[in-house]
């Protein structure tokens, strides 16, 4: 089970510090083994989340990670795990900073990037993020309301969704030990032969880097407001908190399996 974070004084202090500091950039380039895409960050409207994300970027924490979850028609998710190549423990979890305050201002529509968090804890986002493949604002799950709303903090721009869709189109059910993980150059014949999954079969995040530090680079974008969460807050209704967590339990189990080998 993933750790459910408790509010700590240091976390509150960090959130205050992050809020007082301007984001250092608004556009990042994500280079993957299946192609590159850019994300325009909403640094002015979700400053805590963007500053947190950029702190991981600046530290190189995302370099060498891989897409560890793919649900076609829904989301792809990354930011949480790296491939180490160690036979005893081929994967390692990315070190997490203190969790941050939730900022559910924008809607989870297609091409937006949002923070993953622990079920039942709105203010538990750390390093994992996901990209919406469809309009996930309503329906089931209703991400604009689930767990007090998932914080959208940027948008994939240009032809970037072509790369995202290509990742989502990869098979993700061939190897039982990698259930939900998109695999490249891996076939059902490989699975039948029990061929080991290697780094070459994963969608690696080779690097994430800043390519535009203009403060108003998001001015031309028109994100959809999360009106559902505002209505819920005004009505005082917290019944839609839900148990929909975005920490991938299956892959956490895989880490345990890998360490036992």
Q: How confident is the model at residue 76 (pLDDT cuts 50, 70, 90)?
A: very high
Average pLDDT in the chain: 83
Q: Where are the domains of the chain?
A: 9-212+226-260
168 with 176: CB under 8 angstroms? no
C-alpha–C-alpha distance, residues 156 and 39, integer Å: 4
For residue 86, how many other CB atoms are within 10 A of its CB? 12
Pairing of strands 35-41, 27-32: antiparallel
The model's pLDDT over 202-220, given as tens digits with 9 standing for 90+, comes to 999 999 999 997 877 888 8
CATH topology for 9-212+226-260? Answer: Cyclophilin (2.40.100)
The model's pLDDT over 127-177, given as tens digits with 9 standing for 90+, comes to 999 999 999 998 888 999 999 999 999 999 999 999 999 999 999 999 888
């Amino acid at each position: 089970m993933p750790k459910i974070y408790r509010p700590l004084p240091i976390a509150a202090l960090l959130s205050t510090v992050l809020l007082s500091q301007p984001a250092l950039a608004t556009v990042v380039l994500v280079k993957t083994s299946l192609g590159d895409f850019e994300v325009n960050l909403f640094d002015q409207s979700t400053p805590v989340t963007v500053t947190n994300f950029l702190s991981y970027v600046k530290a190189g924490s995302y370099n060498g990670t891989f897409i560890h979850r793919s649900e076609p028609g829904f989301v792809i998710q990354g930011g949480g795990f790296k491939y180490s190549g160690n036979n005893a423990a081929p994967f390692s979890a990315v070190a997490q900073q203190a969790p941050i305050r939730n900022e559910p201002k924008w809607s989870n529509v297609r091409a937006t990037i949002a923070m993953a968090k622990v079920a039942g804890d709105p203010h538990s986002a750390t390093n994992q993020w996901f990209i919406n493949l469809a309009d996930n604002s309503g329906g089931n799950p209703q991400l604009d309301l689930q767990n007090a709303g998932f914080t959208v903090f940027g948008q994939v721009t240009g032809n970037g969704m072509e790369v995202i869709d290509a990742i989502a189109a990869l098979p993700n059910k061939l190897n039982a030990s990698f259930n939900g993980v998109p695999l490249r150059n891996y076939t059902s014949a490989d699975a039948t032969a029990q061929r080991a999954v290697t780094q070459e079969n994963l969608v690696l995040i080779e690097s994430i880097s800043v390519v535009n530090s203009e403060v108003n680079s998001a001015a031309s974008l028109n994100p959809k407001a999360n009106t559902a969460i505002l209505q819920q807050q005004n009505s005082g209704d917290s019944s839609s908190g839900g148990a929909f967590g975005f920490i991938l339990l299956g892959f956490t189990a895989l880490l345990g399996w890998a360490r036992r080998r």
